[in-house]
Structure 1
Amino acid sequence: MKRTKEIANRFREVILNGVWVANTNYKDQLSDVTWEQASKKIGSLNTIFMLTFHINYYIAGVLNVLEGGALEIRDKYSFDCSGIESQKDWEELLNTMWSNAEKFANAIELMPDQKLDEVFVDKKYGTYQRNIDGMIEHSYYHLGQITLIKKML
């Protein structure tokens, strides 16, 4: 199997359909969360909505690069989200995230393996491999937070 196919599958596992590492994934954890639960603030913790927005922000931003665009996202804006007002707003965010995640995984699969070793946008960011692995690791980190917040609710 191509390296890019393996990495794309690892990404799908954390967001869309896997249970190997964390015994869950975003789609599974968020499927039964209402917009009220997603918006509920517990102490100083981020809300489930904010964490979901945050991960989708990075998926969309890196996807733009994978599709040939510029790196337009900035860390300082990754939590800049207005609240949600309805279940429809929440479901729109989730559907956008699932769509972006599938496009992201497909873009990885279509890459030749040697692209993984190339510089990602600027030398300071490392390689494509480093950035995709970072996306997977970052996603697992926040998946753990969402799982715990969900239990606290």
Structure 2
Amino acid sequence: MNTSSQLAKRFREVMLDGLWIANTNFKDQLSDVTWGQAITKIADLNTIAMLTFHIDYYIAGILNVFEGGELEIKDKFSFDLPPIESQEQWEELLSKLWRDSEKFAALLEQMSDSKMNEVFVDEKYGTYLRNIDGMIEHAYYHLGQIALIKKMILFKNK
């Protein structure tokens, strides 16, 4: 299995269907979260909706580069979630995350191994490999937060 295929598999594991590292994934954790739970604020932690938006913001930004576009995302906007005021809007955010994640993985699978060592947009960002690895690690970091916040919400509502 080439590097791109291995990375796509790792990305799918954290986002869509894996159990290997964390015994869960984004899709598993978010599948039963209601809109009310998604926007529930616990102390000064980000909400589940905010973290969902945040991770998709970066996936969509890197995906744009994969598709030949510019790197248009900025860290300062990565938490600019518009208000989510219904279950339908929450489900739309989730659907976007699943679509973007699958497209990200599919395009990643098609990349050559030599692409992994190419500069990602600008030398200051390092290589494609560095950015893809970073995206996977970033996703696991926020997956852990979501799992803990979800448990806190469920405990609070008992």
**TM category, shorter:** over 0.9
Please, what TM-score do these two structures have when normalized by structure 2? 0.96
Which residue of structure 2 lines up, in the alignment, with residue 59 of structure 1?
59
Which residue of structure 2 lines up, in the alignment, with residue 25 of structure 1?
25
Letter in 2 for 1:41: K
Letter in 1 for 2:33: V
Residue 115 of structure 2 is aligned to residue 106 of structure 1 = no
% identity of equivalent residues: 69
Letter in 2 for 1:91: E
Instruction: Write out aligned runs for 1:23-102 (5 A).
Output: 23-102=23-102
Letter in 1 for 2:79: F
Q: Shift of residue 83 of structure 1?
A: 1.7
Range with bigger deviation, 69-78 or 79-88: 79-88
Instruction: Write out aligned runs for 1:125-136 (5 A).
Output: 125-136=125-136
CA contact (8 A) 1:16 1:27 kept: yes
Letter in 1 for 2:20: W
Distance 2:77 2:86 in 1: 23
Distance 1:83 1:28 in 2: 24
Q: Shift of residue 2 of structure 1?
A: 1.2
Any gaps of 5 or more consecutive residues in structure 1?
A: none
Once the two structures are superposed, residues 3-38 of structure 1 have per-residue CA deviations (whole angstroms, 9 ceiling, x without a partner) of 100100000000000000000000000000000000
Distance 1:114 1:151 in 2: 42
Aligned residues: 153
Distance 1:2 1:67 in 2: 21
Would you identify which runs of 4 or more consecutive aligned residues in structure 1 move more than 2 Å? Answer: none
Q: Shift of residue 82 of structure 1?
A: 1.6
Distance 2:85 2:35 in 1: 8
Letter in 2 for 1:11: F
Please, what TM-score do these two structures have when normalized by structure 1? 0.99
Letter in 2 for 1:74: K
